[in-house]
Amino acid sequence: MYYRLRRTFVPIALPGDALLFRSDTRAYKVEGSFAKLLARLLLPQLDGRTSVEQIAQSADVPASSLEEHLNTLVRAGVMESGRDPLSASDGDPRLNLVEALGVTANDAHVRLQETRIAIFGLEGVGDLGEPSEHHAG
């Protein structure tokens, strides 16, 4: 398996071996020895292109235990994973809010294709139209 931090999250080291993953819409706190291991050794390797087996070997931890902890972060929406290496693409930044809300890019695309938008009004936003003469009678 391959893992990486979702691009909408930022890791923030906290005192006492704690790590906070923060996005525009959510926060997730990890504490204890796994947080310490994440902050000091694992995060730089969790790039979506290095397998969990390789990371476990370099960190000298059992791959099954590491995968279990990482899957918790996947279920929390902090990380993403795949059976094959994840693309190195930074993705479309216009989708950051969609992803932060827990909607996949594909789901957003389908929803937008099915959406109809109507705009009502005679003038553009902020447009006061042509100046007119007012006559006092």
* Per-residue model confidence as pLDDT tens digits over 16-68: 889 999 988 889 999 999 999 998 899 999 999 999 999 999 999 999 999 99
Alpha-helical segments (H) within the chain: 33-37, 52-59, 63-75, 96-100, 105-114
Longest CA span, the chain: 91
pLDDT of residue 130: 61
* Per-residue model confidence as pLDDT tens digits over 111-129: 888 888 877 766 666 666 6
Within 13 A of 108's CA, how many CA atoms are on the CB side? Answer: 13
Evaluate the CA torsion angle 31, 29, 75, 52 in order and state its sign. Answer: negative
Higher pLDDT, 92 or 112: 112
Whole-prediction pTM: 0.67
pLDDT of residue 76: 92
